[in-house]
Amino acid sequence: MIPLLRLVNVKKRYVTGSAGEILPVRDVSVDIKRGERIGLLGKSGSGKTTFLNLVGGVDTPSSGMIYFNGRDLGELSSPELAEYRRSEVGFVFQSFNLFPTLTVGENIMLPLDLLGIHDENRARAMLEAVGLDGQWDKFPEQLSGGEQQRVAIARALVKSPSLILADEPTGNLDLETSNQVLRIIDEVCRDRDATLIMATHSLESLWLADRIFRLQGGSLIEQPRSGSREIVP
Amino acid sequence: MPWLRRLPVLLGLNLRYYRSHKLLSILCILGIALGVGIVVAVELINSSAFSSLSASVDFLSGRATHSVVSGFGRIDEKHFPAIWTHPQVEAAAPVIEVMATAVETGDEPIRFVGIDPLLDGEFRGFSTVREDSGDFVPFLTERPPRMLLSADVMKQHGLRVGDTLTVSAAGVEKKVRIHGTIPAGDGLGDHLAVLDIAAAQELFGRYGELDRIDLIVRGNVEELARTLPLGLGLTDRGERKATLQAMLYSFQLNLTAMSLLALFVGVFLIYNFSMFSVLSRREDMSLLITLGSDRRELVGAFLAESLALGIVGSILGISFGWLVGWLSIERVSSSISELYFHLRVQELHLTASIALRGLTVGLAATLVGTALPALEVAVTPPVLGMKRRTIEDRAHGLKWILLLSAAACFLGSLAAWWASRYSVFWGFASAFGVTAAFALATPSALSPFSHYLGAWLKRWMGSLEGFLAARTIRASLSRTSIAVAALAVALSMTIGVDGMIHSFRESVRRWLDGALLGDLYISPSTTRWAHPLPNELIEMVYRHPDVEAVERYSTHEALLKGKPVKMRVVDGKVLKHHSTFHFLAGGRDAWDNLVAGGIFVSESLRFRLGIDVGDKATLKTPEGDRAFPVVALTRDYSTDQGALHIDRAVYERIWNDRSVQSVALFLKPGASTADIHRSIVHAFPGLDRTVVSNTKMKEDIFVIFDKTFAPTATLKGVSLLVALLGVATALTAILIERSREMTVLGYLGVTRREMAKINVYQGLIMGAAAFLISCACGTILTYVIVHAINYRSFGWSIDVSLDPWVFLKTAVLTTLACLASCVYPTYRLSRGRPLHLEEE
């Protein structure tokens, strides 16, 4: 069976004026199956976001190949990469990144609109799924941080992407809200058979991961699961 | 004061901001420069026109202390000996001044000055012909007549002493030989020809007439004035300058007002930039306050940097103004020459006072534009991270206050319109009030407009980019509404002025259709210089078998209540049957009353001098002052000095003058205009370009009409350019502020091309909003300009007629201009660095 994502010797190199060459990702090779949930650990600056950007088609590797469903992302043009992100990838960010100019409903409708699917019922169902029924017409700033992140999750998942990339999704939330958000991510990914890669530096967030990797010095190292899933919470 | 000592530190910090926002800083400086430039250009043009006019009067007056002038435009030369020998007169010299063209020098007019060389030496220095030189006798006696010609004309056309010029006067060509050169001086002697007065009289058919008699008065001026022959008066150069300057007053006032409107648009741009710079540094300012900075320091640093921008912009503006003035001066001179009197402005005089005024205006505009942003600095809270949304919420909250202010401005504008009957300044205040009202109402209009337009674009046009663009505009109301208001002001000005010009054009067309019904006109281009047609020509057209009627026309300067007016001499009996004059009053039996000795007055004359139907107008005649009953009020758009019509028979009897300057021929049914044209030209070859059809006659008039409004195109263009810089600034600012949102869109799968489309949509939606606002504002402005400014400036009424083409043209212009203003921000967007959001 073809893995959903295959990374082969992926390397990303930046050249900066002051620091010289930086290699946040070096010779990374990994297969990730459909429906699998991956936890990505690492210190600040370890390259977690770069890794997510590479598999999300936002950035391109300096060398190596990334296959999505057997298709080499390196061979895609810029508009094709945009199409890939539009249809296959859902991003969840630490700072939510909702559009303050759009209502909650419009934020969630946006990915569907981009795909030409004008299905408001689907978006409303998604909002209900994240527990925000009745907040459709509000603006993001009228919501709490946890609620905003739930809207962001609804926006990422409403188009039923194959791949969800979550970058520190609970980094700005308190513990209780974090757990709520993680449970929603867990449930929604499970319902839709979506693959999840979640970058975090919080071990407590990893209870939903099937596999855990650590990015260290640019290398991706698989971590053995210590303890059972039920440790948190 | 310690806070002043810390100012340089803050200024140093702020300088870094400008370094990182070079483009916005340049756009702001350009806005100031363009606004100041146009004000300086108009100042320069107005002052240079006055300087030239003044220098020309001084130059041509020479050492004359006074001049004898006629209340009806010409002096019978038989009066000269008595004046010359008057005990109060030390010296006297007769003068004829005529504008004419020569075949060899093209269409550019030359001022022919006829003098008496024996007497003129006391007055002017341009005569190089001396009694004791061998040149003197030939200058007076040779045939063809001799003249001195200015060096610039000779150099320009490769002429030499001894060459012959073919002077065209009233379509009749006569030869004059160049006897000598008037040396090139400071430009005053340019395009000047000097000849003996007898030769000038012969050349231009002015037998026995003088234009004025220059005097050096040594005694009692009042006594001299009292003893002058009937119909003649005494004037000095100061009075002449004042009279000429007064004629230009309205023309120059309108130019000044339009330039100030351009500056007004510039203030929006300054405000937009300043507000952006304050808001985008708000966090830095908050941090500085928490670190112990004083608010006064922040405000001081902000004002200091704004003033620095203002100074740079103003200095550039002064240079730009000089350039615009230099490029426009010829067109403006030409308009003044067509409308008022011949004026040739040789050079621009950029004086220190004009430069200082430009600097003052630029700094004042900068201060007005930065007042609110400075207040924003003053109230900066010492809390970090004041969100943009909060600022926008405040902007949305301000909408109602602005709307109320708009309503107040509109009511004020109506009041000013009413008050314009007392002064044209209230007319300008009314126009400003209307413009300000619409500008203040812009946020209230833009918010729902962009909301519903966005929804419509998404739902009915399937345009997500349009929807997102509309939402961004609404979300950035504090910025976008300013840019839209500035653009709307500039477009309103375009629609308002173009609407006025169109209405004016239509009114002039209707006026001409009623006044000019002749089939053929013998109307030399020199008619405006009052050259009489030859008598033989008049007799010939009267005898022509295909001509049913002939209307003889001439126009003269007359003095009414001490003011110069145009006196039009017409054949009342002919026009009664061959015209459909638009009478505003007294139309019934108007022509019969005219033939019986009455006069018609134009609206402008009624406006300027308060003389109306039923009144009596006292004119200076060779028989002394004489009162004429005013029997009708007419429309007349040819002069804002005011004009009166008098019947030819009455005129000839009283003024003893049978000269005719143009004729209208009304042909018998079936007669061929081409045949008659041929027969006239056959007999008078010089009249080839002079005999014109009715259509050509009107076309020529509209050429002059269009030339008159040519200077407004520059003013409108610059205002529009300033406004578009405002749109470009707003789009760039939005791009900077919303770069994060654009990046998120990239993560969601929006391509750079689609992002660029969002940006273009933003420009177009802002343009559409500005256009719609300007349609309403511009239409009202058309009415204000026509009724409260034009009528109060020139005294003529115009029927407002709205032209769809004006709106269509403005819509196309707006679209193109907004697309142009999107170019840089879109380029910047499409060439942006790769998407990176959560940088570690």
**CA of A89: which chain B residue's CA is closest?**
B748
Contact B224, B67 (CB under 8 A): no
Distance (Å) from the alpha carbon of A228 to chain B's nearest alpha carbon: 30
Specify the pLDDT at position A97: 84
Burial B698-716 (b: 16+ CB within 10 A, else e): beebeeebeebeebbebbb
Read off the tokens for B384.
Answer: 């970090």
**CA of B740: which chain A residue's CA is closest?**
A97
Contact B398, B443 (CB under 8 A): yes
Specify the pLDDT at position B291: 64
Cβ–Cβ of B471/A101 closer than 8 Å?
A: yes
| Cα–Cα distance for residue pair B529/B42, rounded to 1 Å | 28
Q: Determine contact: A153 vs chain B, CB below 8 A.
A: no
Task: Tell me which chain A residues have a C-beta less than 8 angstroms from the C-beta of B740.
Answer: 97
Cβ–Cβ of A53/B836 closer than 8 Å?
A: yes
Cβ–Cβ of A101/B752 closer than 8 Å?
A: no
Read off the tokens for A52.
Answer: 């997510």
Specify the pLDDT at position B189: 58
**Within 10 Å of residue B697's Cβ, how many Cβ atoms?**
17
Cβ–Cβ of A86/B744 closer than 8 Å?
A: no
Cβ–Cβ of B840/A48 closer than 8 Å?
A: yes
| Cα–Cα distance for residue pair A85/A91, rounded to 1 Å | 9
Partner residue opposite A101 with nearest CB, options B472, B751, B835: B472
| Cα–Cα distance for residue pair B145/B141, rounded to 1 Å | 7
Partner residue opposite A99 with nearest CB, options B741, B752, B836: B741
Partner residue opposite A113 with nearest CB, options B464, B472, B836: B464
Cβ–Cβ of A86/B741 closer than 8 Å?
A: no
Cβ–Cβ of A49/B838 closer than 8 Å?
A: yes
Cβ–Cβ of B753/A79 closer than 8 Å?
A: yes
Please name the residues between 781 and 840 in chain B that touch chain A, using a CB distance below 8 Å: 834-840
Specify the pLDDT at position B129: 52
Specify the pLDDT at position B453: 93
| Cα–Cα distance for residue pair A163/A151, rounded to 1 Å | 18
Task: Tell me which chain A residues have a C-beta less than 8 angstroms from the C-beta of B750.
Answer: 82, 86, 114
Task: Tell me which chain A residues have a C-beta less than 8 angstroms from the C-beta of B758.
Answer: none
pLDDT, mean of each 10-residue run, chain B (840 residues): 64 72 78 83 83 77 83 82 86 87 79 84 65 59 80 84 81 80 64 86 84 85 80 80 74 73 71 70 69 73 83 90 83 73 73 88 82 72 53 69 92 93 87 91 90 89 88 81 83 86 90 87 64 83 89 86 86 88 85 92 90 90 88 87 91 88 88 86 76 84 79 73 74 72 84 85 90 94 88 85 89 84 73 48
**Largest distance between two CA atoms of chain A:** 51
**CA of B472: which chain A residue's CA is closest?**
A101
Distance (Å) from the alpha carbon of B388 to chain A's nearest alpha carbon: 10
Distance (Å) from the alpha carbon of A143 to chain B's nearest alpha carbon: 14
Distance (Å) from the alpha carbon of B739 to chain A's nearest alpha carbon: 12
Reduced to 3 states (helix: H, G, I; strand: E, B; else coil), residue A138 is coil
Distance (Å) from the alpha carbon of B478 to chain A's nearest alpha carbon: 14
Amino acid identity, position B320? F
| Cα–Cα distance for residue pair B186/B664, rounded to 1 Å | 43
Q: Which residue has the tokens 């993680």?
A: A182
Please name the residues between 701 and 760 in chain B that touch chain A, using a CB distance below 8 Å: 740-741, 744, 746-754
Distance (Å) from the alpha carbon of B829 to chain A's nearest alpha carbon: 15
| Cα–Cα distance for residue pair B719/B494, rounded to 1 Å | 9
| Cα–Cα distance for residue pair B790/B420, rounded to 1 Å | 11
| Cα–Cα distance for residue pair B63/B80, rounded to 1 Å | 19
ipTM, two decimals, is: 0.83
Cβ–Cβ of B748/A86 closer than 8 Å?
A: yes
Distance (Å) from the alpha carbon of B742 to chain A's nearest alpha carbon: 10
Task: Tell me which chain B residues have a C-beta less than 8 angstroms from the C-beta of A48.
Answer: 840
Cβ–Cβ of B751/A89 closer than 8 Å?
A: no
Q: Determine contact: A68 vs chain B, CB below 8 A.
A: no
Contact A165, B838 (CB under 8 A): no
pLDDT in tens, A158-188: 888 999 999 888 877 777 778 888 888 888 8
Cβ–Cβ of A79/B751 closer than 8 Å?
A: yes
Q: Determine contact: B475 vs chain A, CB below 8 A.
A: yes
Contact B145, B202 (CB under 8 A): yes
Please name the residues between 26 and 45 in chain A that touch chain B, using a CB distance below 8 Å: 44-45
Higher pLDDT, A119 or B191: A119
Specify the pLDDT at position B839: 40
| Cα–Cα distance for residue pair B642/B639, rounded to 1 Å | 6
Partner residue opposite B464 with nearest CB, options A95, A114, A168: A114
Q: Determine contact: B549 vs chain A, CB below 8 A.
A: no
Distance (Å) from the alpha carbon of A82 to chain B's nearest alpha carbon: 4
Specify the pLDDT at position B702: 85
Please name the residues between 174 and 233 in chain A that touch chain B, using a CB distance below 8 Å: none
Pairing of strands B520-522, B662-667: antiparallel
Cβ–Cβ of B751/A48 closer than 8 Å?
A: no
Distance (Å) from the alpha carbon of A40 to chain B's nearest alpha carbon: 14
Contact B443, B773 (CB under 8 A): no
Q: What H or E segment, with its residue span, contains residue B46?
A: helix B22-61
- Choose, out of B751, B829, B839, the residue to mutate when testing the contact with A (most A CBs < 10 Å): B751
Specify the pLDDT at position B526: 45
Contact B178, B165 (CB under 8 A): yes
Read off the tokens for B54.
Answer: 């003044």
Q: What H or E segment, with its residue span, contains residue B83?
A: helix B80-84
Please name the residues between 440 and 459 in chain B that touch chain A, using a CB distance below 8 Å: 458
Q: Determine contact: A84 vs chain B, CB below 8 A.
A: yes
Partner residue opposite A102 with nearest CB, options B471, B837, B838: B471
Distance (Å) from the alpha carbon of B473 to chain A's nearest alpha carbon: 9
Cβ–Cβ of A141/B472 closer than 8 Å?
A: no
What's phi and psi for B567, nearest 5 deg? -110, 115
Number of A–B residue contacts, CB under 8 Å:
82
Task: Tell me which chain A residues have a C-beta less than 8 angstroms from the C-beta of B455.
Answer: none
Cβ–Cβ of A53/B748 closer than 8 Å?
A: no
Mean pLDDT calculated for residue range A183-211:
85
Specify the pLDDT at position B287: 66
